[in-house]
Structure 1
Amino acid sequence: MKSRQFIQSLEKGLMILKVFSGSRTPLSVTDIAAACHMNMATVHRYLFTLKELGYLEQEADTRRYRLTPKILKIGVTALNTMDLKNRLLPYMLETTKTYDVTTQCAILDDTDVVVLDRVRSKEVVNWDIGVGSRLPVYCTAMGKAILAFLHQDDQRQVLRKVHFNRHTQYTLVSSKELKTDLIRIRQDGYVLSDQELTMGLRSIAAPVFRNGLVEGAFGVSYAVSRAEEDGFEATLVGQALTIAAKVSF
Protein backbone atom coordinates (compact mmCIF):
# COMPACT_ATOMS: atom_id res chain seq x y z
CA MET A 1 0.00 0.00 0.00
CA LYS A 2 1.33 3.43 -0.95
CA SER A 3 1.80 6.10 1.67
CA ARG A 4 -0.96 8.68 2.21
CA GLN A 5 1.65 11.27 1.24
CA PHE A 6 1.98 9.71 -2.23
CA ILE A 7 0.46 11.98 -4.92
CA GLN A 8 -1.02 9.80 -7.67
CA SER A 9 -1.74 12.71 -10.00
CA LEU A 10 1.95 13.65 -9.97
CA GLU A 11 2.85 10.02 -10.69
CA LYS A 12 0.57 10.05 -13.74
CA GLY A 13 2.03 13.29 -15.04
CA LEU A 14 5.58 11.96 -14.72
CA MET A 15 4.49 8.71 -16.34
CA ILE A 16 3.36 10.67 -19.39
CA LEU A 17 6.67 12.52 -19.59
CA LYS A 18 8.54 9.23 -19.33
CA VAL A 19 6.73 7.90 -22.41
CA PHE A 20 8.49 10.54 -24.49
CA SER A 21 11.92 9.30 -23.35
CA GLY A 22 11.36 6.12 -25.33
CA SER A 23 10.34 7.84 -28.57
CA ARG A 24 12.29 9.90 -31.08
CA THR A 25 9.15 11.07 -32.88
CA PRO A 26 6.19 13.16 -31.68
CA LEU A 27 3.37 11.17 -30.06
CA SER A 28 -0.38 11.27 -30.49
CA VAL A 29 -2.87 11.29 -27.64
CA THR A 30 -3.78 7.71 -28.58
CA ASP A 31 -0.11 6.63 -28.39
CA ILE A 32 0.30 8.18 -24.96
CA ALA A 33 -2.97 6.80 -23.57
CA ALA A 34 -2.04 3.28 -24.71
CA ALA A 35 1.47 3.47 -23.26
CA CYS A 36 0.23 4.77 -19.90
CA HIS A 37 -2.92 2.62 -19.75
CA MET A 38 -5.01 5.73 -19.15
CA ASN A 39 -8.23 6.91 -20.76
CA MET A 40 -8.14 9.59 -23.44
CA ALA A 41 -9.97 12.25 -21.42
CA THR A 42 -7.51 12.01 -18.54
CA VAL A 43 -4.52 12.09 -20.90
CA HIS A 44 -5.92 15.20 -22.61
CA ARG A 45 -6.02 17.03 -19.26
CA TYR A 46 -2.44 16.12 -18.37
CA LEU A 47 -1.18 17.06 -21.83
CA PHE A 48 -2.94 20.42 -21.63
CA THR A 49 -1.32 21.12 -18.25
CA LEU A 50 2.16 20.06 -19.37
CA LYS A 51 1.77 22.18 -22.50
CA GLU A 52 0.69 25.22 -20.47
CA LEU A 53 3.70 24.74 -18.18
CA GLY A 54 5.99 24.69 -21.20
CA TYR A 55 7.21 21.10 -20.99
CA LEU A 56 5.35 19.92 -24.08
CA GLU A 57 4.43 21.49 -27.40
CA GLN A 58 1.89 20.42 -30.00
CA GLU A 59 2.52 20.30 -33.74
CA ALA A 60 -0.01 22.43 -35.61
CA ASP A 61 -0.38 20.04 -38.55
CA THR A 62 -0.35 16.60 -36.91
CA ARG A 63 -1.61 17.60 -33.43
CA ARG A 64 1.08 15.33 -31.98
CA TYR A 65 3.08 16.25 -28.89
CA ARG A 66 6.82 16.47 -28.25
CA LEU A 67 9.09 17.58 -25.42
CA THR A 68 10.38 21.15 -25.35
CA PRO A 69 13.92 22.28 -24.49
CA LYS A 70 12.60 23.35 -21.07
CA ILE A 71 12.57 19.73 -19.93
CA LEU A 72 16.26 19.45 -20.82
CA LYS A 73 17.19 21.98 -18.16
CA ILE A 74 16.11 19.54 -15.45
CA GLY A 75 18.02 16.62 -16.98
CA VAL A 76 21.19 18.59 -17.69
CA THR A 77 21.21 20.01 -14.17
CA ALA A 78 20.90 16.50 -12.74
CA LEU A 79 23.71 15.18 -14.92
CA ASN A 80 25.99 18.10 -14.08
CA THR A 81 25.61 17.53 -10.35
CA MET A 82 26.53 13.84 -10.51
CA ASP A 83 29.79 13.23 -8.72
CA LEU A 84 30.82 10.29 -10.93
CA LYS A 85 31.02 12.50 -14.00
CA ASN A 86 33.12 15.09 -12.18
CA ARG A 87 35.56 12.47 -10.88
CA LEU A 88 36.01 10.84 -14.28
CA LEU A 89 36.13 13.83 -16.64
CA PRO A 90 39.87 14.67 -16.21
CA TYR A 91 40.78 11.06 -17.00
CA MET A 92 38.39 10.97 -19.96
CA LEU A 93 40.01 14.07 -21.46
CA GLU A 94 43.50 12.67 -20.91
CA THR A 95 42.65 9.24 -22.38
CA THR A 96 41.00 10.71 -25.48
CA LYS A 97 43.96 13.02 -26.09
CA THR A 98 46.56 10.28 -25.57
CA TYR A 99 44.98 7.40 -27.51
CA ASP A 100 42.51 9.18 -29.84
CA VAL A 101 39.56 7.14 -28.60
CA THR A 102 36.12 8.27 -27.53
CA THR A 103 35.61 8.08 -23.77
CA GLN A 104 32.37 8.08 -21.81
CA CYS A 105 30.84 7.32 -18.45
CA ALA A 106 27.38 6.06 -17.59
CA ILE A 107 25.04 4.91 -14.85
CA LEU A 108 22.29 2.30 -14.79
CA ASP A 109 18.64 3.34 -15.06
CA ASP A 110 16.14 0.48 -15.27
CA THR A 111 17.27 -1.64 -18.27
CA ASP A 112 19.35 1.11 -19.89
CA VAL A 113 22.55 2.96 -19.16
CA VAL A 114 22.41 6.74 -19.28
CA VAL A 115 25.46 8.54 -20.66
CA LEU A 116 26.65 11.16 -18.15
CA ASP A 117 29.46 12.58 -20.24
CA ARG A 118 31.36 11.85 -23.43
CA VAL A 119 34.60 13.07 -24.99
CA ARG A 120 34.78 12.40 -28.72
CA SER A 121 37.90 11.33 -30.59
CA LYS A 122 38.97 12.58 -34.02
CA GLU A 123 38.00 9.23 -35.53
CA VAL A 124 34.93 9.07 -37.73
CA VAL A 125 32.89 6.34 -36.09
CA ASN A 126 29.21 5.75 -36.83
CA TRP A 127 27.98 6.11 -33.26
CA ASP A 128 26.18 9.38 -32.77
CA ILE A 129 25.21 9.56 -29.11
CA GLY A 130 25.32 12.43 -26.68
CA VAL A 131 25.05 13.23 -23.00
CA GLY A 132 21.76 11.89 -21.66
CA SER A 133 21.46 9.16 -24.30
CA ARG A 134 19.97 5.87 -23.15
CA LEU A 135 21.61 2.66 -24.35
CA PRO A 136 20.55 -0.97 -23.79
CA VAL A 137 22.27 -2.53 -20.80
CA TYR A 138 22.65 -5.97 -22.41
CA CYS A 139 24.64 -5.02 -25.52
CA THR A 140 26.93 -2.20 -24.41
CA ALA A 141 30.29 -2.45 -22.67
CA MET A 142 29.35 0.04 -19.95
CA GLY A 143 25.98 -1.64 -19.43
CA LYS A 144 27.48 -5.08 -18.98
CA ALA A 145 30.28 -3.73 -16.78
CA ILE A 146 27.63 -2.42 -14.37
CA LEU A 147 25.30 -5.40 -14.69
CA ALA A 148 28.04 -7.95 -13.99
CA PHE A 149 28.89 -6.37 -10.64
CA LEU A 150 25.37 -5.75 -9.34
CA HIS A 151 24.17 -7.68 -6.32
CA GLN A 152 22.67 -10.94 -7.62
CA ASP A 153 19.11 -10.00 -6.61
CA ASP A 154 19.39 -6.64 -8.38
CA GLN A 155 20.93 -8.29 -11.43
CA ARG A 156 18.08 -10.82 -11.65
CA GLN A 157 15.54 -8.02 -11.38
CA VAL A 158 17.10 -6.16 -14.31
CA LEU A 159 17.41 -9.29 -16.44
CA ARG A 160 13.73 -10.12 -15.92
CA LYS A 161 12.78 -6.78 -17.50
CA VAL A 162 15.21 -6.80 -20.45
CA HIS A 163 13.66 -7.10 -23.92
CA PHE A 164 16.34 -8.45 -26.24
CA ASN A 165 16.66 -7.04 -29.75
CA ARG A 166 19.30 -8.04 -32.29
CA HIS A 167 21.07 -4.80 -33.23
CA THR A 168 23.88 -6.57 -35.12
CA GLN A 169 24.93 -10.13 -35.87
CA TYR A 170 27.06 -10.01 -32.69
CA THR A 171 24.30 -9.02 -30.25
CA LEU A 172 23.53 -11.50 -27.46
CA VAL A 173 19.78 -12.06 -27.59
CA SER A 174 19.07 -14.46 -24.75
CA SER A 175 19.25 -14.24 -21.00
CA LYS A 176 21.26 -17.49 -20.89
CA GLU A 177 23.98 -16.10 -23.20
CA LEU A 178 24.12 -12.84 -21.29
CA LYS A 179 24.41 -14.53 -17.89
CA THR A 180 27.35 -16.61 -19.16
CA ASP A 181 29.00 -13.45 -20.43
CA LEU A 182 28.43 -11.64 -17.13
CA ILE A 183 30.14 -14.43 -15.18
CA ARG A 184 33.23 -14.09 -17.40
CA ILE A 185 33.16 -10.28 -17.09
CA ARG A 186 33.02 -10.49 -13.30
CA GLN A 187 36.07 -12.79 -13.36
CA ASP A 188 38.01 -10.54 -15.76
CA GLY A 189 37.00 -7.26 -14.14
CA TYR A 190 36.30 -5.52 -17.46
CA VAL A 191 34.27 -5.79 -20.70
CA LEU A 192 35.43 -5.91 -24.31
CA SER A 193 32.41 -5.52 -26.56
CA ASP A 194 32.78 -6.29 -30.26
CA GLN A 195 30.14 -4.59 -32.45
CA GLU A 196 27.22 -5.71 -30.28
CA LEU A 197 25.29 -2.46 -30.68
CA THR A 198 26.90 -0.82 -33.72
CA MET A 199 28.82 -2.39 -36.58
CA GLY A 200 32.38 -1.16 -36.90
CA LEU A 201 32.67 -0.20 -33.23
CA ARG A 202 34.46 -1.93 -30.36
CA SER A 203 34.33 -0.79 -26.74
CA ILE A 204 36.07 -1.49 -23.46
CA ALA A 205 34.56 -0.66 -20.07
CA ALA A 206 35.30 -1.13 -16.38
CA PRO A 207 32.99 -0.71 -13.37
CA VAL A 208 33.34 2.13 -10.89
CA PHE A 209 32.48 1.50 -7.24
CA ARG A 210 31.26 3.63 -4.34
CA ASN A 211 31.39 2.14 -0.85
CA GLY A 212 31.73 -1.35 -2.30
CA LEU A 213 28.70 -1.09 -4.62
CA VAL A 214 28.88 -0.57 -8.38
CA GLU A 215 28.12 3.10 -9.12
CA GLY A 216 28.59 3.26 -12.88
CA ALA A 217 31.14 2.55 -15.58
CA PHE A 218 33.97 4.16 -17.51
CA GLY A 219 34.29 3.21 -21.17
CA VAL A 220 36.31 3.78 -24.32
CA SER A 221 35.19 3.24 -27.92
CA TYR A 222 37.09 3.03 -31.20
CA ALA A 223 36.93 1.71 -34.75
CA VAL A 224 37.27 -2.06 -35.23
CA SER A 225 40.32 -1.56 -37.43
CA ARG A 226 42.31 -0.22 -34.48
CA ALA A 227 42.08 -3.58 -32.70
CA GLU A 228 44.77 -4.78 -35.11
CA GLU A 229 47.30 -2.27 -33.73
CA ASP A 230 49.92 -4.10 -31.68
CA GLY A 231 49.14 -3.89 -27.95
CA PHE A 232 46.41 -1.28 -28.48
CA GLU A 233 43.54 -3.06 -26.73
CA ALA A 234 45.70 -4.45 -23.93
CA THR A 235 46.86 -0.91 -23.18
CA LEU A 236 43.28 0.38 -23.15
CA VAL A 237 42.15 -2.42 -20.83
CA GLY A 238 44.90 -1.48 -18.41
CA GLN A 239 43.99 2.18 -18.72
CA ALA A 240 40.30 1.52 -18.07
CA LEU A 241 40.99 -0.64 -15.01
CA THR A 242 43.47 1.87 -13.58
CA ILE A 243 41.13 4.84 -14.02
CA ALA A 244 38.13 2.97 -12.62
CA ALA A 245 40.18 2.00 -9.56
CA LYS A 246 41.39 5.58 -9.03
CA VAL A 247 37.87 7.08 -8.96
CA SER A 248 36.32 4.26 -6.91
CA PHE A 249 36.16 4.48 -3.13
Structure 2
Amino acid sequence: MVQSVDRALTIIKLISARKEGIGVTELAEKLELNKSSIFRLLATLVENGFIEQDMETKKYKLGYIYLEIANKLLDSIDIRKEAASYLRELERISNEVIHLVIYSQKEAVYIEKLEGSETLRMHSQVGKRAPMHCTSAGKVILANLPDSEVIEIIKQKGLPRHTENTIITAEELFEALKTIKNQGFGIEREENEPGITCIAAPIFNHLGDVTGAVSISGTSMRMNEEKIDLIKNKLIEVGMKISERLGYKK
Protein backbone atom coordinates (compact mmCIF):
# COMPACT_ATOMS: atom_id res chain seq x y z
CA MET A 1 0.00 0.00 0.00
CA VAL A 2 1.30 3.46 -0.92
CA GLN A 3 0.81 5.50 2.25
CA SER A 4 0.30 8.89 0.61
CA VAL A 5 -2.31 7.47 -1.79
CA ASP A 6 -4.07 5.75 1.09
CA ARG A 7 -4.17 8.99 3.05
CA ALA A 8 -5.48 10.93 0.07
CA LEU A 9 -8.26 8.40 -0.47
CA THR A 10 -9.12 8.51 3.24
CA ILE A 11 -9.41 12.30 3.01
CA ILE A 12 -11.78 11.96 0.04
CA LYS A 13 -13.94 9.48 1.96
CA LEU A 14 -14.08 11.75 5.01
CA ILE A 15 -14.99 14.79 2.93
CA SER A 16 -17.66 12.87 1.00
CA ALA A 17 -19.39 11.97 4.26
CA ARG A 18 -19.81 15.64 5.25
CA LYS A 19 -22.25 17.62 3.15
CA GLU A 20 -21.14 20.89 4.75
CA GLY A 21 -17.47 20.09 4.20
CA ILE A 22 -14.64 19.50 6.64
CA GLY A 23 -11.75 21.66 7.86
CA VAL A 24 -8.02 21.05 8.00
CA THR A 25 -7.91 20.79 11.81
CA GLU A 26 -10.51 18.03 11.91
CA LEU A 27 -8.83 16.15 9.07
CA ALA A 28 -5.50 16.35 10.87
CA GLU A 29 -7.08 14.94 14.03
CA LYS A 30 -8.83 12.08 12.24
CA LEU A 31 -5.74 11.07 10.26
CA GLU A 32 -3.39 11.79 13.18
CA LEU A 33 -1.17 13.92 10.96
CA ASN A 34 0.18 17.44 11.32
CA LYS A 35 -1.55 20.22 9.43
CA SER A 36 1.32 20.80 7.03
CA SER A 37 1.03 17.18 5.79
CA ILE A 38 -2.73 17.58 5.40
CA PHE A 39 -2.27 20.83 3.48
CA ARG A 40 0.10 19.14 1.02
CA LEU A 41 -2.36 16.31 0.39
CA LEU A 42 -5.26 18.74 0.03
CA ALA A 43 -3.31 20.93 -2.39
CA THR A 44 -2.68 17.94 -4.67
CA LEU A 45 -6.35 16.91 -4.57
CA VAL A 46 -7.50 20.48 -5.24
CA GLU A 47 -5.04 20.83 -8.13
CA ASN A 48 -6.53 17.72 -9.75
CA GLY A 49 -10.15 18.76 -9.14
CA PHE A 50 -11.06 16.00 -6.69
CA ILE A 51 -11.85 18.44 -3.89
CA GLU A 52 -12.38 22.19 -3.65
CA GLN A 53 -12.31 24.73 -0.85
CA ASP A 54 -15.26 26.89 0.14
CA MET A 55 -13.84 30.41 0.25
CA GLU A 56 -16.29 31.49 2.97
CA THR A 57 -16.09 28.60 5.42
CA LYS A 58 -12.58 27.47 4.38
CA LYS A 59 -13.85 23.92 4.53
CA TYR A 60 -13.17 21.34 1.83
CA LYS A 61 -15.84 19.66 -0.29
CA LEU A 62 -15.90 17.20 -3.14
CA GLY A 63 -15.10 18.59 -6.57
CA TYR A 64 -17.36 18.34 -9.59
CA ILE A 65 -14.95 15.96 -11.29
CA TYR A 66 -16.86 13.09 -9.66
CA LEU A 67 -19.91 13.95 -11.76
CA GLU A 68 -17.80 13.71 -14.89
CA ILE A 69 -16.35 10.37 -13.80
CA ALA A 70 -19.78 9.04 -12.82
CA ASN A 71 -21.28 10.03 -16.16
CA LYS A 72 -18.45 8.34 -18.03
CA LEU A 73 -18.96 5.20 -15.98
CA LEU A 74 -22.70 5.21 -16.59
CA ASP A 75 -22.17 5.76 -20.31
CA SER A 76 -19.85 2.76 -20.40
CA ILE A 77 -22.34 0.39 -18.76
CA ASP A 78 -23.76 -2.14 -21.22
CA ILE A 79 -27.01 -3.50 -19.76
CA ARG A 80 -26.83 -6.64 -21.91
CA LYS A 81 -23.33 -7.38 -20.67
CA GLU A 82 -24.22 -6.66 -17.05
CA ALA A 83 -27.33 -8.84 -17.26
CA ALA A 84 -25.87 -11.77 -19.25
CA SER A 85 -24.95 -14.12 -16.40
CA TYR A 86 -28.23 -13.47 -14.59
CA LEU A 87 -30.26 -14.20 -17.71
CA ARG A 88 -28.42 -17.50 -18.21
CA GLU A 89 -29.14 -18.38 -14.60
CA LEU A 90 -32.87 -17.78 -15.13
CA GLU A 91 -32.77 -19.86 -18.31
CA ARG A 92 -31.11 -22.73 -16.45
CA ILE A 93 -33.56 -22.60 -13.56
CA SER A 94 -36.75 -22.25 -15.61
CA ASN A 95 -35.84 -23.89 -18.96
CA GLU A 96 -38.10 -21.24 -20.51
CA VAL A 97 -37.62 -18.24 -22.82
CA ILE A 98 -35.91 -15.29 -21.12
CA HIS A 99 -36.30 -11.70 -22.34
CA LEU A 100 -34.38 -8.56 -21.45
CA VAL A 101 -36.39 -5.45 -22.30
CA ILE A 102 -35.51 -1.75 -22.11
CA TYR A 103 -37.83 1.24 -21.93
CA SER A 104 -37.09 3.63 -24.79
CA GLN A 105 -39.14 6.55 -26.12
CA LYS A 106 -42.33 5.39 -24.42
CA GLU A 107 -41.96 1.84 -25.77
CA ALA A 108 -40.56 -1.48 -24.57
CA VAL A 109 -37.85 -2.97 -26.78
CA TYR A 110 -36.48 -6.52 -26.67
CA ILE A 111 -32.67 -6.34 -26.52
CA GLU A 112 -31.89 -9.94 -25.53
CA LYS A 113 -33.62 -13.28 -25.82
CA LEU A 114 -32.54 -16.69 -24.54
CA GLU A 115 -34.54 -19.55 -26.04
CA GLY A 116 -34.53 -22.00 -23.12
CA SER A 117 -34.64 -25.76 -23.53
CA GLU A 118 -38.39 -26.14 -23.96
CA THR A 119 -40.15 -25.81 -27.31
CA LEU A 120 -41.87 -22.44 -27.66
CA ARG A 121 -42.77 -20.32 -30.68
CA MET A 122 -43.18 -16.62 -29.88
CA HIS A 123 -43.43 -13.43 -31.92
CA SER A 124 -40.72 -11.76 -29.83
CA GLN A 125 -37.29 -11.10 -31.29
CA VAL A 126 -34.33 -8.87 -30.48
CA GLY A 127 -34.94 -5.34 -31.74
CA LYS A 128 -38.70 -5.76 -31.87
CA ARG A 129 -40.96 -3.55 -29.79
CA ALA A 130 -43.22 -5.14 -27.20
CA PRO A 131 -46.78 -3.96 -26.50
CA MET A 132 -46.76 -2.10 -23.18
CA HIS A 133 -50.28 -2.89 -21.97
CA CYS A 134 -50.44 -6.62 -22.65
CA THR A 135 -46.97 -8.03 -21.95
CA SER A 136 -45.59 -8.73 -18.49
CA ALA A 137 -42.43 -6.71 -19.25
CA GLY A 138 -44.43 -3.78 -20.56
CA LYS A 139 -46.78 -3.78 -17.61
CA VAL A 140 -44.03 -3.83 -14.95
CA ILE A 141 -42.46 -0.86 -16.68
CA LEU A 142 -45.79 0.98 -16.76
CA ALA A 143 -46.38 0.13 -13.10
CA ASN A 144 -43.22 2.00 -12.14
CA LEU A 145 -43.79 5.09 -14.29
CA PRO A 146 -45.61 8.25 -13.17
CA ASP A 147 -49.37 8.09 -13.87
CA SER A 148 -49.06 11.09 -16.17
CA GLU A 149 -46.59 9.23 -18.37
CA VAL A 150 -48.79 6.13 -18.46
CA ILE A 151 -51.74 8.28 -19.55
CA GLU A 152 -49.62 9.82 -22.31
CA ILE A 153 -48.58 6.35 -23.52
CA ILE A 154 -52.21 5.22 -23.59
CA LYS A 155 -53.14 8.32 -25.61
CA GLN A 156 -50.35 7.71 -28.12
CA LYS A 157 -50.55 3.94 -28.45
CA GLY A 158 -54.09 3.09 -27.39
CA LEU A 159 -54.99 -0.24 -25.82
CA PRO A 160 -55.48 -2.51 -28.85
CA ARG A 161 -56.85 -5.99 -28.30
CA HIS A 162 -54.39 -8.80 -29.06
CA THR A 163 -56.39 -11.67 -27.54
CA GLU A 164 -59.67 -12.05 -25.71
CA ASN A 165 -57.70 -11.61 -22.45
CA THR A 166 -56.13 -8.24 -23.37
CA ILE A 167 -56.85 -5.34 -21.04
CA ILE A 168 -58.51 -2.68 -23.19
CA THR A 169 -59.67 -0.03 -20.70
CA ALA A 170 -57.53 2.47 -18.82
CA GLU A 171 -59.41 1.82 -15.58
CA GLU A 172 -58.69 -1.90 -15.65
CA LEU A 173 -55.07 -1.30 -16.65
CA PHE A 174 -54.41 1.12 -13.79
CA GLU A 175 -55.94 -1.35 -11.35
CA ALA A 176 -53.60 -4.07 -12.64
CA LEU A 177 -50.60 -1.74 -12.48
CA LYS A 178 -51.35 -0.95 -8.85
CA THR A 179 -51.20 -4.66 -8.00
CA ILE A 180 -47.98 -5.11 -9.98
CA LYS A 181 -46.30 -2.19 -8.21
CA ASN A 182 -47.26 -3.55 -4.79
CA GLN A 183 -46.11 -7.13 -5.41
CA GLY A 184 -42.94 -6.30 -7.33
CA PHE A 185 -43.66 -8.41 -10.42
CA GLY A 186 -46.21 -8.70 -13.21
CA ILE A 187 -47.93 -11.63 -14.88
CA GLU A 188 -49.48 -11.74 -18.33
CA ARG A 189 -51.74 -14.71 -19.03
CA GLU A 190 -52.43 -15.01 -22.76
CA GLU A 191 -52.97 -11.25 -23.10
CA ASN A 192 -50.54 -10.83 -26.01
CA GLU A 193 -50.32 -14.29 -27.60
CA PRO A 194 -52.74 -17.22 -27.15
CA GLY A 195 -51.26 -20.05 -25.14
CA ILE A 196 -48.39 -17.98 -23.72
CA THR A 197 -47.97 -16.89 -20.10
CA CYS A 198 -45.17 -14.57 -18.94
CA ILE A 199 -43.89 -13.14 -15.67
CA ALA A 200 -41.61 -10.10 -15.40
CA ALA A 201 -39.75 -7.99 -12.84
CA PRO A 202 -38.60 -4.37 -13.26
CA ILE A 203 -35.05 -3.07 -13.69
CA PHE A 204 -34.07 0.34 -12.31
CA ASN A 205 -31.18 2.68 -13.14
CA HIS A 206 -28.85 4.72 -10.91
CA LEU A 207 -31.48 7.45 -10.57
CA GLY A 208 -34.09 5.00 -9.31
CA ASP A 209 -36.10 5.24 -12.53
CA VAL A 210 -37.46 2.12 -14.21
CA THR A 211 -35.28 1.43 -17.24
CA GLY A 212 -36.48 -1.99 -18.36
CA ALA A 213 -37.57 -5.45 -17.30
CA VAL A 214 -36.55 -9.09 -17.31
CA SER A 215 -39.16 -11.76 -18.07
CA ILE A 216 -39.74 -15.49 -18.30
CA SER A 217 -42.16 -16.82 -20.94
CA GLY A 218 -43.58 -20.26 -21.53
CA THR A 219 -46.68 -22.13 -22.55
CA SER A 220 -49.62 -21.55 -20.23
CA MET A 221 -49.64 -25.28 -19.50
CA ARG A 222 -46.07 -25.19 -18.18
CA MET A 223 -46.27 -21.70 -16.65
CA ASN A 224 -48.94 -22.68 -14.15
CA GLU A 225 -49.40 -21.23 -10.67
CA GLU A 226 -47.05 -23.78 -9.12
CA LYS A 227 -44.19 -22.91 -11.48
CA ILE A 228 -44.80 -19.17 -11.15
CA ASP A 229 -44.61 -19.51 -7.36
CA LEU A 230 -41.30 -21.36 -7.72
CA ILE A 231 -39.62 -18.81 -9.99
CA LYS A 232 -41.09 -15.42 -9.07
CA ASN A 233 -38.76 -14.66 -6.13
CA LYS A 234 -35.70 -15.57 -8.18
CA LEU A 235 -36.93 -13.36 -11.01
CA ILE A 236 -37.40 -10.40 -8.65
CA GLU A 237 -33.93 -11.05 -7.25
CA VAL A 238 -32.39 -11.06 -10.73
CA GLY A 239 -34.18 -7.81 -11.61
CA MET A 240 -32.70 -6.23 -8.49
CA LYS A 241 -29.20 -7.58 -9.16
CA ILE A 242 -29.21 -6.18 -12.69
CA SER A 243 -30.48 -2.87 -11.28
CA GLU A 244 -27.60 -2.80 -8.79
CA ARG A 245 -25.14 -3.39 -11.64
CA LEU A 246 -26.61 -0.26 -13.24
CA GLY A 247 -25.95 1.74 -10.07
CA TYR A 248 -29.35 1.42 -8.40
CA LYS A 249 -29.45 1.79 -4.62
CA LYS A 250 -32.64 0.61 -2.94
Fold-level similarity (TM above 0.5): yes
| Structure 1 residue 223 corresponds to structure 2 residue 219 | yes
**Which one-letter code corresponds to 1:108 in the other structure?**
Y
Instruction: Give the Cα–Cα distance (whole angstroms) in 2 for the partners of residues 172 and 89 of structure 1.
Output: 32
Shift of 1:111: 4.6
What is the SS of the residue equivalent to 1:108?
A: strand
Contact 1:108 1:216 in 2 (8 A): yes
Question: Counterpart in 2 of 1:132?
Answer: 127
Indicate the percent of aligned positions where both proteins have the same amino acid: 26
2:110 corresponds, among 106, 109, 115, to: 115
Question: Counterpart in 1 of 2:210?
Answer: 214
Runs of 4+ off more than 4 Å? none
2:228 corresponds, among 217, 224, 233, to: 233
Contact 1:113 1:143 in 2 (8 A): yes
After superposition, the CA RMSD in angstroms is 1.7
Question: Counterpart in 2 of 1:196?
Answer: 191
Contact 2:90 2:235 in 1 (8 A): no
1:183 corresponds, among 163, 178, 181, to: 178
Flag structure 2 segments of 5+ consecutive residues without an equivalent. Answer: 1-75
Shift of 1:226: 1.2
Superposition pairs for residues 82-101 of structure 1, below 5 Å? Answer: 83-101=78-96
Contact 1:147 1:155 in 2 (8 A): yes
Task: Point out the more displaced range, 84-93 or 141-150.
Answer: 84-93
Instruction: Give the Cα–Cα distance (whole angstroms) in 1 for the partners of residues 140 and 231 of structure 2.
Output: 15
Shift of 1:97: 1.9
Contact 1:107 1:113 in 2 (8 A): yes
**Which one-letter code corresponds to 1:128 in the other structure?**
H
Count of paired positions: 168
**Which one-letter code corresponds to 1:84 in the other structure?**
I
Q: TM-score, normalised by structure 2?
A: 0.63
